[in-house]
């Protein structure tokens, strides 16, 4: 794995961390809260996005309109069983999710969850660094590259690692601000 591959993989890790942050609710309605919800539809797990149109008519409501009306109760059940923590209300053709204001205790819990996601992202980036350093050291041992080249590549790799770890820290600070802002 070369530096360009490592950088691309680190970028993907940052994007995955961003997606994980998007699933944490901040007191405002956001369709991405339902990204991880899967519905048991005709015997196979199907993402909610592919079964229904999801919109946010206002800051405290998520509106779900199934493409197939017969899937309404399945969608309602899947949301109830998920870890979203919201109670769906079914009016026969759509499902509404009302987002209650967050309590201070719940905000603290969500900040901890965000910190956990950030740490998972940082660990993934450090694992990428470790794998690339192993490759560089093997190349140095087998005399494919010189000791100086090896050091240069390791320094560049460390700079990349620092850059992408800082990006995750920025995303975490942004998410914490979103969560704690009333």
Nearest to 37 by CA among 91, 97, 93, 90: 97
Q: What is the pLDDT of residue 182?
A: 65
pTM of the full predicted structure? 0.71
Strands (E), 42-87: 44-47, 52-58, 61-66
Average pLDDT over residues 47-51: 86
Domains of the chain: residue spans and CATH: 3-22+103-180 (1.10.132.20), 31-98 (3.30.1360.40)
Distances from the Cα of 179 to the Cα of 66, 91, 101, 172, angstroms: 29, 30, 11, 10
% of residues, the chain, pLDDT over 70: 98
Cα separation, 26 vs 181, in Å, equals: 8
CB atoms within 10 A of CB 96: 15
**Do residues 125 and 13 make contact, with C-beta atoms less than 8 angstroms apart?**
yes
What is the DSSP-derived secondary structure letter of residue 32? G
Max mean pLDDT range (13-22, 68-77, 101-110, 123-132): 123-132
**What digits encode the pLDDT tens for the residues 126-176?**
999 999 999 999 988 888 888 888 899 999 999 999 999 999 999 999 999
Angle at 137 between CA 133 and CA 141, to 5 degrees: 170
The token pair that represents 83 in the structure block: 């870890």
Nearest to 99 by CA among 36, 28, 34: 28
**Do residues 2 and 52 make contact, with C-beta atoms less than 8 angstroms apart?**
no
**Do residues 118 and 107 make contact, with C-beta atoms less than 8 angstroms apart?**
no
Q: What is the pLDDT of residue 1?
A: 58
Quick check: helix, strand or coil at residue 92?
coil
Q: What is the pLDDT of residue 157?
A: 92
């Amino acid at each position: 794995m070369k530096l360009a591959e490592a950088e691309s993989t680190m970028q993907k890790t940052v994007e995955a961390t961003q997606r994980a942050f998007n699933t944490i609710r901040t007191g405002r309605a956001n369709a991405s809260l339902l990204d991880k919800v899967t519905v048991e539809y005709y015997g196979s797990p199907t993402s909610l996005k592919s079964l229904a149109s999801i919109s946010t008519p206002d800051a405290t409501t998520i509106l779900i309109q199934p493409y197939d009306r017969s899937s309404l109760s399945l969608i309602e059940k899947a949301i109830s069983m998920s870890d979203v923590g919201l109670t769906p209300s079914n009016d026969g053709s759509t499902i509404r999710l009302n987002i209650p204001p967050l309590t201070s205790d719940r905000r603290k819990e969500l900040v901890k969850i965000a910190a956990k996601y950030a740490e998972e992202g940082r660990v993934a980036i450090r694992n990428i660094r470790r794998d690339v350093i192993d490759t560089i050291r093997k190349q140095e041992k087998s005399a494919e590259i010189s000791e100086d080249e090896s050091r240069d590549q390791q320094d560049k790799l460390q700079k990349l690692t620092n850059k992408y770890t800082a990006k995750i820290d920025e995303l975490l600070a942004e998410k914490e601000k979103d969560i704690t802002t009333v």
